[in-house]
Structure 1
Amino acid sequence: MSEQQTRRSFLDWLLGAGMLAWLASVFYPVLRYLKPLPRATGAGPTRLSRDEALRIDQKGFVIVPVAGKRVLVLRDRDDKLYALAAKCTHEGCTVQFVPGESVIWCACHNARFDLQGRVLAGPPPRPLARYLVDRDEKGAIVVRAEA
Structure 2
Amino acid sequence: MTPAEFIKKWKPVSLTERAAAHTHFLDLCRMFEHDDPITADPTGHWFTFEKGATKSGGGEGFADVWKKSFFAWEYKKKKRDLNMAMQQLVRYAAALENPPLQVVCDTDRFVIRTAWTNSVAKTYEIALDELIIPEKRAILRAVFHDPEQLRPTETRAA
Same fold (TM over 0.5): no
Q: Taking CA–CA contacts closer than 8 Å with sequence separation of 6 or more, which of the two structures ends up with the larger relative contact order?
A: 1
TM-score, normalised to structure 2, is 0.27
Q: TM-score, normalised by structure 1?
A: 0.29
Which has the greater radius of gyration? 1
User: As a proportion of its length, which structure holds more helix?
Assistant: 2
